[in-house]
Every structure is written in structure tokens, then in C-alpha cells.
Amino acid sequence: MQEELKQILVEGLQEAGAAATSQELSAVRLKYFGKKGLITQYSRRLGMLSPEERPRFGKIINEVRQELEEYLTTREQELLALEEQRKLESERLDVELPGRRPRRGHPHPLQLIIQEITTTFLGMGFSVAEGPEVELDYYNFEALNIPPEHPAREMHDSLYITDKILLRTHTSPVQVRTMEKVCPQPVRIIVPGRVYRRDALDATHSPIFHQIEGLLVDKHITFSDLKGILTVFVQKFFGEDRTVRLRPSFFPFTEPSTEVDVSCGCQGRGCRICKNTGWLEILGAGSVHPKVLAMANYDPELYSGFAFGMGVERIAMLRYGITDIRHFYENDLRFLSQFS
Amino acid sequence: MRVSYNWLREYVPIDLSPAELGEKLTMAGLEVEEIIDFGASYRSLKIGKILEIEPHPQADRLLLCRLQLADGEVTVVTAAQNLRRGDLVPVALPGVTLPDGRKIEIAEFHGVRSQGMLCSEEELGLARKSTGIMVLPEGTALQANLDTVLGLDDHVLVLELTPNRADCYGMLGIAREVAAITGVEVKLPDLRVEEATEPIEEFVSIEVQDEELAPRYAGRVLLDLKLGESPLWLKARLLAAGMRPINNMVDLTNYVMLELNQPLHAFDLQQMKDQKVVVRSAREKEVITTLDDQERTLTRGQLVIADAVQAQCIAGVMGSGQSEVAEATKTVFLESAYFSPVSIRRTAQFFALRSEAAIRFGKGLDPETVPLALDRVAHLAQKLGIARVAKGVIDLNSRPFTPRKIRFRPERINGLLGTKLDSTEMFEIFKRLNFKLEEQPDGTCDLLPPSYRLDIEGEADLAEEVARIYGYDRIPATYPAAKVIGQLTPRQEFTEATRQLLLGCGLSEIKTYSFHGESMFERLNIPADHPLREAVRMMVPLSEEGSLMRTTLLTGVIEALSYNARRNQHDLQVFEIAHVYHPTTADALPEEPEHLAGGLSGKMFTPAWNQNDREVDFYDGKGLLETIFTALRVEKVTFRRGEHPVLHPGRTAILEYAGEPLGIVGEIHPQIKVEFDLVAPVVLFEINLEKLWQAACKEVVQVKALPKFPPILRDLALVLPEKVKVEEVMAVFHENGQEKLEAVQLFDVYQGDKIPAGYRSIAFSLTFRLEERTLKDDEVNAIMERIIEAATSKFGAQVRTA
């Protein structure tokens, strides 16, 4: 009997070792420890032995049982781990295949520029003012010190709706409207918006384009303040390494007036973009003309200010290397999808 | 304005190179666009000495010239007959481009190869017509540069002048600027005239009838004119300035115009009937044949210079052929005047004549230069031996010049500029600019700008002059602190939030034109009396496509989809946020509400190997809007069946909030789809953002406590007649569920062979829950029974079992 048990143990260990899956292993466990299991049967037969033999065989059976069970447990853990591993292996994906992408919207480059500039000026205490695109002649010209004989007021340069109403040719009328509204409070605004000119469409001209206007009016505002604010803006927008250059210019509604240039990315080496000048013209600006202040009811002896304006398309073209203004309005997906 | 560097240095002997000068001018407000090496095209030509002239073996009229160049010999074929052995001539070798743009190549003439070309003055742009080859002065070195020999070794600074600086359209004006910038003194042109004994009145009488249009009119008479070619130096100046030499008389008037910025006109006095000069308004329908051989019909109000009978010149714009100075001219009436700039501008524009004179008159000139320009022409005419000068000047000046007086307050100028200049430093600047200082009895000071600075009107102009000459670059940069927070208004933030939501939902932003043509309405099938056709229309449109302001953004969206579809790009989702324009009353401005519009086209999801490839339909559009509305906290928007000309009549919903229309969503009308070459399904929507903003909840969110008790879930599928609205069914659920029914979700709609025609099966998932305790199954069962009962009796619904 002892021999038989040893034989059973050897076979049991062998079978458990040979089991390839946890299922096979369960069958082995059943074969030895099930109700009719080989070892179970021996345990039952224990009762039939004499009291003297019982403890000895009981011990042997226990030893065999314990050894086999221990091995089965170990083996089971091994197999489960192996099976888990196989399962994971079978679930392997080709992670190099493209993912399932949610659709992504692309911002319009003009909006990106408007947003960036707006954010910068919000940070400097400016708010955003708006005004009508279909505008009174008075706000578009007269209140901006543009006399009736000025060439811009001719039918061939502007788009008129009636004798007194036209599509605004710049965002500057919003300057006047805002001043009229808040006078004598100080003004600190920017005005992004659409403007219209009687220009035929080509690579560099569009009858519709966008401007961003700025206006600051308060007591004791100087030309040097204009220089300060615009320098902060230009270096923030174009880079701290860029320099700003102001040179005298002329606009009817500012005096003194200035063009604001930023040094070109070519760093003066000369390139196609700056036409070898090393400078890019980006802004027109100046101190608000005393006549404009007076027409909006500010006393020019007490109040002063400055205004500036820039073309959004031009800035977008410079920043993104766009050579044809028409791209902005065609909305070709291949163009738009380059922006994010 | 083209400024000759050499010429300029005659007035201001500066040591600056052309580039340095250009930089200084730009920084003083006279922007230099370009600096042209004017001599370059002449420098590429060679100087040749004729060694031998032989007849061409095959052609009678041609000659062969053997030439000695600085570095070798060449043989050139020529037809010119004016050459002799030893003459020095300009030679253009193959590969060279002539000043007129012509390129020289090796050419063969009857079997003889010409190794270049001998040049005439005409070919060098120095004469209008010439008969032979130009012969250079004896003793000219073969090594010399032709531009130096001809006095054309010059640089031209091309200036982009601002409209306020009309005074800088003359060399003297530029010279004055340079003087002010550099501190060098200006050398004024010589104006001395030795007059003949015959007084001017013997030859001409002047009558100014319209002093409004001609406030100052002056003249001189030149006698015994010897018309001919101008000397080379004079031609060189004109060429550098971009004008073609014509004859010595015309060239002189042009020269002085370029120099003093005062246009002059020379009349052949013999051609002026009764030797009278009448300055008057044109008669209605009066006809004049101008220099360019065009017959032009004048209208009243246009200023003319006439003789006793007829108009001989459109004042300041263009003369007539009849009184033009010609070979036979002996006596010249030389006109110098100040005309009303507005009148000249209008007339020039009316005839579309942009002559150099008209441009200058139109900008406004210095009335005090009028007589000086006459003296200058007279001086030069004498110096060149062209004519004698009759005694005296007739100068009819109805508006004598009085200088403006502007209070000089240095502290105020510092206050405007943010500088700390002292008054002497400032006054030094004004002195350089030829302003006069006048002390007033009350101790204050006035500054008097010179007569040519018509642009200086007030204190701000003084500030600019100080800043300009002191240097914009030397003005400090200061930062005015903000006393307020910069921020968007809640309304502006709402638009920004909308934009970001749409981008996040996968739509790309587009920008389209705010105007379109009438034909767009036709293409969109918009009926003649439809409100969308009530548009703001332009008086004189740019083109048909730009004749009216849009009343809907859908035009732009459809065009953008169409543009892409024609490029085989059908899967895209776009939106635009912009204004539309609705007319109000005739004299008032239109309304310009901000709208949002968009279009979904083609595949709903980004096409990929593992992606659902279904195409968009109505519910994608509606669902998008529902998501956006939730995010923007707009609740209670209803979608009702509606119609819109560009949308599918059965697949269109009108959005309403509190009974007010808010917008529209629907699938595109099949006809419009065809019209715009669209292939894939398209869903369009448009929302009035102003109204959406009004509908949005603005209060701060107050959080509801999270439920403590479990819910009971029940699904219910009802077979309902088609016309029963889901909304009504939902209402029945809530009526019976009351506070116990927490939520209802519609999860399936089915129509097909498993249910009768005219019916649809709609499946709902109902969530029951109470805030204060756990619900019992029995309670929910009772509610469900009541619901079913009500749905059955009210709609004829039947419960559908699986």
C-alpha cells in the first residue's frame, strides 16, 4: 500500500507537471482529490485498517496528499500566470496603425492674429470696442479731420450706399464713436474689424480686409507713451529680439504721425520679405489730432492721446509666409488645415 | 518724386553718400523707397575710337567701322553717315542692355558680323530724335566711364511723399529738408535777370476773370526765342527726374518746375489772338484740342487760359497744340500761377489727365514762388542764350500771402511729445526750418511758418516738426499705466466661447466676403419678395458680385463648401461668425446683427481604417447645435418644422426661443446642391448670436446636491402614429411621473416591416428616483401602468414587446 501510494504520488506529480492548462490541471486535481479520486479512496480505506496500522498509513496518506496538493497549487499558479500572459499576448494590437481621431476644427489665420493681438492689448488694460461696418460719412471722414476734398472720399476709392453712408474704409470711425460715448472718461480701446475699399482683387489687394485700431485718450498722454506701448506690443508679437523704429509720416487724424517698422527676421542681412531694407512696415500711428479730440468733445488743452492701426492680413501674411491675400477668403481646406 | 543726388548737392553740399542721405530723409518723414544707380546703364557701354571706315562689300548704304576700345578692337556695321576717322563714339557690345531697355546681340548684315552697335543720342535716351551717331568730346579717354563723360554718373532717390508735404515735390523743397536735418545752409538758385528795354505790356495783356480759381497769376515775356536742343547737363537732370527732354524752352520750364515746385507754361504769343491772356472759367461745351491731339469738351467751372477768342490751355492741366511753342515761335508768354488746388484736381480727374503740373497744382503750392519761378526761367534762358527777357513782370495777386501765427509754447510741445527739450533747442529747430519767431506785446511768442509750409496749422504740427528734426528715435519710450482692467464684455466673451466650442466640435473657421451680387439670390432660389432680398445695396458697386451686403451668412458657407467640392474636398465642417446687414430707414444705418452659420458636409467622422464612415444628416446639425446650446447655457430652444429656400423642405427646423425665431438648421435643398456642384450630403445652420446671447442664462451656476438613493430604470417602447410628437409623449411621462421621474431618454426610433405603415416605434429609457428615500418597485410599476394607459388613450399607442 505504501508502494502503491508512492506510485500514485509519482504519477500525480507527473500528470500535474504535464498539464498544459489550468483546465487540464483541474482534471488532474479531480482525478486524485475528487469524490472518487485516487487519494480520496485511500483515505476512505483508512477506516478499514487496523488501529495499529492506521496512524502510520494516515501519516503516509497525508504526506502524499500534502505534497501533491502543494505541487498542484504551485502548478496552478504557474499555469494561470502563463494563461494570463497568453491572453495578453493574444490581445496585442499593432500600435503603429493610425488612431481613431475625433474631428478637429482649424482656426482661421486672421482670427489667430486678431486673438493674439487682442490678448496682448487686454493685458495692457485695453478693452475691445466695436462699431458699424456700414458707416456714416461723418464718422468715417469728417470727424477724423478728412476734408470733403480728400481723395479717399471720392466714389472711386470708397463704396457708398447713399451720399451720406458708406462701407467704412478703416476702423477709425470707432475711435470717434467711442470718444463721443465715454467723454470725458479716458479711452483705452482696440477695434478689430472688417473694412472696405474699392480695390480689385489680386494677390495683394482685397476689397475687404481687416484692421485693428487702437486708441488711448487721457490727461497727460504723450508721444513717448505711444512709443512705449507699441514697443511692448511689437516685441511681444514679433519677438523680444526685434527692434522697433518710428519714422515720421502723415495721417489726417493724427499729429505727429508715425510709421512703425519692426526689424526684419533676416536681421538686416536683407531678404525678399523686407525688400532688402531690414525693416517691415507694420503700423501707422500718431498722437490724436487736436481737431479730432475737439470734435469728440474732449478739450485738447487737457486731454491728449494716441491712435494706431494695422492691417491684419498683412501681419498674417508676414507671420505665416502667405503670399496671396486671396487665400484668406477662399477657405480651401488644404490651407485652413495648416493652422491649429 | 525722383531726386537726383548730384543735382541736390548743388543746393546743399553734403558729404553723405546716397544711402546715408536716403536713411536721413526716411527718418525725417520723406520715405526713400529705392535708390537707383542712374549711371549703371550707361556705364556698361564702351567708348570707341574710329580707326578706319570702309564701305560694306555687299550693301551700299552700310559702312564698316573698325574701332579701338580700351581693351582691343572691334568691327561694327553702321548706317550712320556722320562719322569720321578719329571720332570717339559710344559702343554697345553684345549682351549689353541700352538705357531704353533694348538688348544688344551679335548681328549679321549681308554676310558681315557686327560685333556691337554704335549709339545715337536717341538710343541713349538723350534726344527725342537724332540723325547720326553721338560723337563724344575730343580727348575723352577710352578707359573713361560713359556715365561720367555724359554727366550721368548719378544716383536717383525715389521718394514716397506723404500728401501733406506738397512742398517736397521740388528739388529746393528737398534741399531745405536736408538743410534742416543736417544743419548745412541752402544755396538758393540764381534769380538775376538782365531785362531788355521793351516793357512786357507792349507784348501782352492779362485779365483774370476768376480770382477764386486763380488767386495769383503772373507772367513774363521772352523775346527772340532760339528753339533747339537743351545742353547735355540739362537733359541729364530731366532724365534723372524721369522726364524726357523735348526742346530747350519746354525743358527749361520743366527744369524750373522740378527745381522750385512751380509748374510753368510757355505760350507762343503770336498764336494768342490779340496777344491777350484771359484767365476764366470755361464756357459750357467749349472745345479745346489739347497737346495730345485730343479734342476735349469743357464744362463751366473748369478754369482755362484763353486768348481774346478761345481757350488755349486747360489751366494747370494741359495746353493746346495751337499755342504750343514751336520752330516758328519768336515771342513766348511764360505763365506762373497759383490755381485753386481743388479745381485743378477735379478737372484733371474729369479728363483723366495726370500731368506732372496737374499733380503739383492739385496738392497745393507756395503762392510766393509764383514770381520767383518766372525769374528763374528768365535767368536760365539768358544764361543759355535762348532768349531775351522783356522788361517787367505782370503779377496779379488777389490774395496776398499772410503767414500763419501759431503760439509757441515749448512746455506744451514737451507735454505732447514726452520730451524735456529747452526752448532754445526747439527754436534752433524752427530756425533751421525757416520759421520766424515773433514776440507779442504780452510777452508770448508766435511762430510763423514759411509760405511753402502750407501743412503747418497748429501746435500739434509744431510738435511734429520738433520731433521730426530732433529725431523720433531720440524720443523716450514710456509706459502709461492702465487704471482699468482690460477685458472682454460678457457679450464678446459669449462670441469667443461660441467660436472655441465650434472649433472643439471639429468645425473649422472660415472668413467670407460680406457682399455678393443679385445673381446669388437667383442661384439660391430666393423668391423675389423674400425678406432675404431686402439688402443694403451699393450706389456704384465694384462689380456684380459686390453689389449688395449679405443678409445671410449661408451664402459664404455654401460658396466655401462649393469651392472645396470643386477641388474634390467633400468631407469638411465649417463655420463663420460675422455680421449680416438689414436695411432700416433710408437715411439711417442698417442693423448689423452678429450671426453664426455653418455647414457639415460629407463624412461625419475623419475618414480612417477603423472609423465609422457614415455621412452627415439633419440630426448631426441639430445635435451640434444642442451641444453648443447646452455649453452656452441656452435652454428651452425648440426646433419646429419649417422652411427656408436653400434647405430641403422636409428636413428643415426653425429654432425658437420664447416664441422668437433664433435660427435655422436643415439639409441643403437638392437643387441648390446641384447649382453649387456639391456632391456629398450637406447640413447647414444659421443662428442670430445676438438673440442667442439674450437667451443664455447669465446667473452663476448653483450646484444641486448629488442623489443619495438608487434609481429605478425602466425601458418603454411605444408604437405610435407617425404624427404624434415626441414632445407630447414626454409630457405624458412627466405628468404621471411628477417628481419621481428624474429623466427620460429617447434611445430608439424604428419604422419598418415589423410595425404597421403610418406608425413608428419609439423607445424610451425612464429614470425614476426620489431625493429623500429609495423608491419601491410597486410605486414605479403603478406609474408605468398609468403612463401606458394615458399613452394608449391619448395617442392610440401600443406597447411594443421584444
Provide DSSP, B70-138. TTEEEEEEE--S---TT-EEEEE-TTPBPTTSPBP--EEETTEEE-SEE-BTTTTTS-S--SSB--BPT
Cβ-contact A153, B346 below 8 angstroms:
no
- pLDDT over threshold 90, residue B587: no
* Cα–Cα dist B637/B659, whole Å: 9
pLDDT tens readout for residues A226-241:
999 999 999 999 999 9
pLDDT of residue B568: 96
Whether A186 and B483 lie within 8 Å, measured CB to CB: yes
Question: What is the C-alpha separation between A183 and A206, in angstroms, rounded?
Answer: 35
Write the DSSP symbol of residue B790: H
In 3-state terms, what secondary structure has residue B642?
coil
Mean pLDDT, rounded, for A195-220: 94
- Counting one residue from chain A and one from chain B, the pairs whose CB atoms sit within 8 A come to 237
- E strand intervals along chain A: 127-128, 134-136, 165-167, 187-196, 208-219, 244-251, 254-263, 279-288, 303-311
Do the Cβ atoms of A224 and B419 come within 8 Å?
yes
Residue B252 has pLDDT above 90, yes or no: yes
What ipTM was assigned to the predicted interfaces of this complex?
0.89
CA dist., res. B456 & res. B778, Å (int): 94
- Model confidence pLDDT, tens digit, residues B419-456: 999 999 999 999 999 999 999 898 899 999 999 999 99
Question: Pick the residue with more confidence: B126 or B230?
Answer: B230
Interface check A92 vs B, CB under 8 A: no
Regarding predicted confidence, which is higher, A2 or B472? B472
- Quote the pLDDT of residue B606: 86
Query: B154-193 as b/e, with b when 16 or more CB fall inside 10 Å?
Result: bbbbebebbebbbbbbbbbbbbbbbbbbbebeeeebebeb
HSE value, Cβ hemisphere, 13 Å, CA-based, for B7:
27
Q: Which bin fits B151, alpha (ψ -120 to 50), beta or left (φ > 0)?
A: left
- Is the Cβ–Cβ distance between B787 and B737 less than 8 Å? yes
A147 at the B interface (CB within 8 A)?
no
For residue A60, what pLDDT is reported?
86
- Exposed / middle / buried, residue B132 (Cβ in 10 Å: 0-12, 13-18, 19+): middle
Distances (CA, A) of B89 to B81, B136, B141: 13, 6, 11
CA distances from A323 to A208, A317, B34, B513 (A): 17, 6, 22, 19
Query: Could you give the dihedral angle defined by the CA atoms of residues A18, A24, A25 and A31, in that order, rounded to the nearest 10 degrees?
Result: -100
Question: What residues in B contact A246, CB-CB < 8 Å?
Answer: 472-473, 475
- Alpha helices for B232-328 (secondary structure H): 232-241, 248-260
CB < 8 Å to A160, chain B: 538-540
Q: Does domain B406-471 have CATH number 3.30.56.10?
A: yes
Question: How far does the CA of residue A88 sit from the closest CA of chain B (Å)?
Answer: 21
pLDDT at B122 over 90: no
Q: Which of residues 410-439 of B touch A (CB under 8 A)?
A: 415-419
User: Which pLDDT belongs to residue A42?
Assistant: 81
- Give just the sign of the alpha carbon dihedral B609, B612, B618, B622: negative
Whether B482 sits inside 8 A of A124 (CB atoms) is yes
Query: How many angstroms separate the Cα of B41 from the Cα of each of A100, B38, B152?
Result: 64, 7, 10
AA identity, residue A141: F
The Cα A208–Cα A213 span in angstroms is 16
- pLDDT of the residue at A44: 82
Percentage of residues in chain A with pLDDT exceeding 70?
99
Question: Which CATH superfamily does the domain covering B40-149 fall into?
Answer: Nucleic acid-binding proteins (2.40.50.140)
Question: Best interface-test mutation with B: which of A227, A308, A325 has the largest number of B CBs within 10 A?
Answer: A227
Confidence of residue B710 (pLDDT cuts 50, 70, 90): very high
- CB < 8 Å to A248, chain B: 27-29, 464, 467-468, 472
Name every residue whose Cβ is closer than 8 Å to that of residue B166 and which is 6 or more positions away in sequence: B261, B360, B363, B364, B365, B454, B455
**pLDDT of B609 strictly over 70:** yes
Give the residue on B whose Cα is nearest the Cα of A303.
Answer: B416
Alpha helices in B337-443 (DSSP H): 341-350, 356-363, 370-383, 410-417, 423-432
* Residues 6 or more apart in contact with residue B270 via CB below 8 angstroms: B328, B329, B330, B331
Q: Are strands B295-297 and B303-306 parallel, antiparallel or unpaired?
A: unpaired
Neighbour-count burial of B274, counting CB atoms closer than 10 A to its CB (0-12 exposed, 13-18 middle, 19+ buried): exposed
Contact B392, B200 (CB under 8 A): yes
Give residue B777's identity as a one-letter amino acid code.
D
Please state, in angstroms and rounded to a whole number, the distance separating the CA atoms of residues B665 and B616: 13
Taken in order B110, B111, B112, B116, the sign of the CA dihedral is: positive
Residues 540-579 of B with CB under 8 A from A: 540-542, 546, 549, 560, 563-564, 567, 569, 572-575, 578-579
A302-324: pLDDT as tens digits = 999 999 999 999 999 999 999 99
Within a 10 A sphere around the Cβ of B383, how many other Cβ atoms?
11
- Cβ atoms of residues A172 and A307 within 8 Å: yes
Domain boundaries, chain A: 2-90, 109-336
Task: Dig out the grid coordinates for A73 from the structure.
Answer: 497549487
Which amino acid, one-letter code, is at B149?
V
The one-letter code for the residue type at B460 is A
Distance (Å, whole) CA B380 – CA B266: 14
Q: Which residue has the cell 535708390?
A: B35
Q: What confidence tens digit (pLDDT) does each residue in B157-191 have?
A: 999 999 889 999 999 999 999 999 999 999 999 99
Instruction: Provide the chain B residues 109-138 that lie in CB contact (below 8 A) with chain A.
Output: none
Peptide bond into B649 cis (omega under 30): no
Digit-coded pLDDT (tens) for B394-412: 999 999 999 999 999 999 9
Q: In DSSP terms, which residues pair with B682 in a beta bridge?
A: B601
Q: Give the whole-angstrom CA distance, residue A314 versus residue A281.
A: 10
Written as one letter, the residue type at B732 is V
Q: Are strands B205-208 and B276-281 parallel, antiparallel or unpaired?
A: parallel
Nearest CA to B787 among B733, B739, B743, B745? Answer: B733
The partner residue sitting opposite B514, judged by closest CB among A133, A161, A225, is A133
Instruction: Identify the pLDDT of residue A155.
Output: 60
Answer yes or no: are the C-beta atoms of A169 and B623 closer than 8 Å.
no
Residues 6 or more apart in contact with residue A95 via CB below 8 angstroms: none
CA–CA gap between residue B390 and residue B388 (Å, rounded) = 7
Is residue A334 predicted with pLDDT exceeding 70?
yes
Q: Dihedral of the CA atoms B720, B721, B722, B727 (nearest 10)? A: -60
Share of chain B above pLDDT 70, in %: 100
Q: Tell me the pLDDT tens digit for each residue of B496-520.
A: 999 999 999 999 999 999 999 999 9
Contacts of A304 in chain B (CB under 8 A): 415-416
What residues of chain A lie within 8 A of the CB of B472, using their CB? 227, 246-248, 258
pLDDT of B36-90, one tens digit each?
998 888 888 999 999 999 888 888 888 889 999 998 899 999 888 888 888 999 9
Is B141 part of the contact surface with chain A (CB cutoff 8 Å)? no
In angstroms, how far is CA B753 from the centroid of its own chain? 67
* Percentage of chain B modeled with pLDDT above 90: 81
- Do the chains contact at A247 and B26, CB–CB below 8 Å? yes
Shortest Cα–Cα distance, A287 to chain B (Å): 8
Q: Where are the alpha helices (DSSP H) in B183-247?
A: 232-241
Q: Which CA distances in Å does A44 have to A283, B78, B224, B328, B527?
A: 103, 138, 156, 153, 100
Question: Which residues, including other chains, have CB under 8 Å from residue B577's CB and lie 6 or more apart?
Answer: B495, B498, B499, B509, B594, B595, B596, B689
Fold of the domain spanning A109-336? BirA Bifunctional Protein; domain 2 (3.30.930)
- Taking a contact as any Cβ pair under 8 Å apart, which residues of chain B between 476 and 495 contact chain A? 476-489, 492
Interface contact flag, B567 A332, Cβ < 8 Å = yes
Query: pLDDT tens digit string along B333-370?
Result: 999 999 999 999 999 999 999 899 999 999 899 999 99
* A-interface mutation test, from B407, B472, B550, B620, most A Cβ less than 10 A away: B472
What is the pLDDT averaged over residues A221-227?
Answer: 97
Q: Do B549 and A134 touch (CB under 8 A)?
A: yes
Q: What is the mean pLDDT of residues B408-418?
A: 95
pLDDT at site A115: 97
* Average pLDDT across chain B, whole number: 93
Enter the CATH code of domain B200-397: 3.50.40.10
Grid cell for residue B719: 408604437
Pairing of strands B117-118, B88-92: antiparallel
pLDDT tens-digit profile of B285-340?
999 999 999 999 999 999 999 999 999 999 999 999 999 999 999 999 999 999 99
Q: Do domains B2-38+154-182 and B712-799 have the same CATH topology?
A: no
Indicate yes or no: CB of B472 within 8 angstroms of CB of A107. no
Alpha-carbon separation of residue A83 from A24, A28, A30, A69, A72 (angstroms): 12, 17, 20, 20, 16
pLDDT band at B673 (very low <50, low <70, confident <90, very high): very high
The x, y and z cell numbers of residue A93, run together, are 494590437
pLDDT band at A154 (very low <50, low <70, confident <90, very high): low
Q: pLDDT-based confidence at A295, cuts 50/70/90?
A: very high
Distance, CA of B507 to CA of B494 (rounded, Å): 17
What pLDDT is stored for residue A151 in this prediction?
Answer: 63
| Three cell numbers, residue A26 | 483541474
Name the CATH architecture for the domain at B490-695.
2-Layer Sandwich (3.30)
Q: How confident is the model at residue B561 (pLDDT cuts 50, 70, 90)?
A: very high
Rounded mean pLDDT, B277-283: 96
Contact between B31 and A330 using a beta-carbon 8 Å cutoff: no
Q: What values do phi and psi take at A166, rounded to 5?
A: -150, 170
Q: Are A300 and A255 in contact (CB under 8 A)?
A: no
> pLDDT averaged over chain A?
92
Between A153 and A122, the more confident residue is: A122
Option in B482, B512, B567 nearest A188 (CB): B482
Give the C-alpha separation, B436 to A117, whole Å.
45
Say what the pLDDT of residue A6 is.
87
- Please report residues of B whose CB lies closer than 8 A to that of A329: 511-513
- Distance, CA of A123 to CA of A145 (rounded, Å): 31
State yes or no: pLDDT of A156 exceeds 80.
Answer: no
Per domain, the residue ranges of chain B are 2-38+154-182, 40-149, 200-397, 406-471, 490-695, 712-799
Q: Which candidate, B225, B203, B154, places its Cα nearest to that of B384?
A: B225
CATH code of the region B712-799:
3.30.70.380
> What pLDDT shows up at residue B109?
86
The beta-carbon neighbor of A258 closest among B472, B487, B539 is B472
Q: Are A227 and B478 an interchain contact pair (Cβ–Cβ within 8 Å)? A: yes
Q: Which fold has domain B2-38+154-182?
A: Phenylalanyl-tRNA Synthetase; Chain B, domain 1 (3.30.56)
pLDDT of residue B2: 95
Closest-CA residue to B473 (of A75, A193, A247, A216): A247
Give contacts of B492 with chain A, Cβ < 8 Å: 128
Contacts for A333 with CB less than 8 Å, ≥ 6 apart: B508, B564, B569, B572
Q: For residue A43, name the pLDDT band (cuts at 50, 70, 90).
A: confident
Task: Answer whether B513 touches A (CB < 8 Å).
Answer: yes
Angle between helices B726-737 and B777-795 (to 10 degrees): 140
B506 contacts on A by Cβ (under 8 Å): 102-105
Q: In the prediction, which pLDDT does B13 show?
A: 94
Q: How far apart are CA B448 and CA B434, in angstroms?
A: 9
Is residue B139 very low, low, confident or very high in pLDDT (cuts 50, 70, 90)?
confident
